[in-house]
Amino acid sequence: MVLFGVVAAGLVYLAASGPLSIWREHPRFSGTVVGTPDGDGLYLAGYSADVRLWGLDAPEWYTPEGPAASAALRRMVMGRRVECEDLGRDRYGRILGRCYLPDGRNVTRTMIATGTAVEFYRYTLGYFAITGLWHGD
């Protein structure tokens, strides 16, 4: 019985924090994209912190593939209003955002689908690999 209580408490903790917290509701914010520092980040008008697109791993700007990834993101979002879920901060103080275009498309999912970046599985645990009826996006 004690073991059951410990396991249940652990599951509640995991659901509230850590990797499983991606499935719960998060505070939302929105803004117009005024810049893209690289292939997985956004500058929004009115925000002092950069937005790091959660779950996206794009090539660094100094690699051969970096400029293409940055250009793809820029074409998709520049000047457009995005709505994001605030998933916290990364170690550099950037907002971790799960962001959506006005038509509802998830920016990270779209970059992955076009092949210009990959899923950062270390943090997502396959969130973007799940598709169809059961996916929350």
pLDDT at residue 58, as a whole number: 93
Q: Cα separation of 84 and 10, whole Å?
A: 29
Segments making up each domain of the chain, as ranges = 27-134
Q: Which residues of 48-78 are buried (b: 16+ CB within 10 A; e: fewer)?
A: eebbbbbbbbbbeeeeeeeeebbebbbebbe
- Contact by Cβ (8 Å): 108, 73: no
The letter for the amino acid at 20 is L
Which of the residues are catalytic?
52, 60, 94
Per-residue three-class SS string for 40-84: CEEEECCCCCCEEECCEECCCCCCCCHHHHHHHHHHHHCCCEEEE
pLDDT confidence bin for 1, thresholds 50/70/90: low
pLDDT at residue 25, as a whole number: 77
For the stretch 49-71, pLDDT in tens is 899 999 998 999 899 999 999 99
The letter for the amino acid at 127 is Y
Tell me the residue ranges of DSSP E strands in 70-132.
81-89, 95-100, 118-119
For the stretch 9-47, pLDDT in tens is 444 444 444 444 555 678 999 999 999 999 999 999 999
Residues in the chain: 137
CATH code of the domain made up of 27-134: 2.40.50.90
- Contact by Cβ (8 Å): 29, 81: no
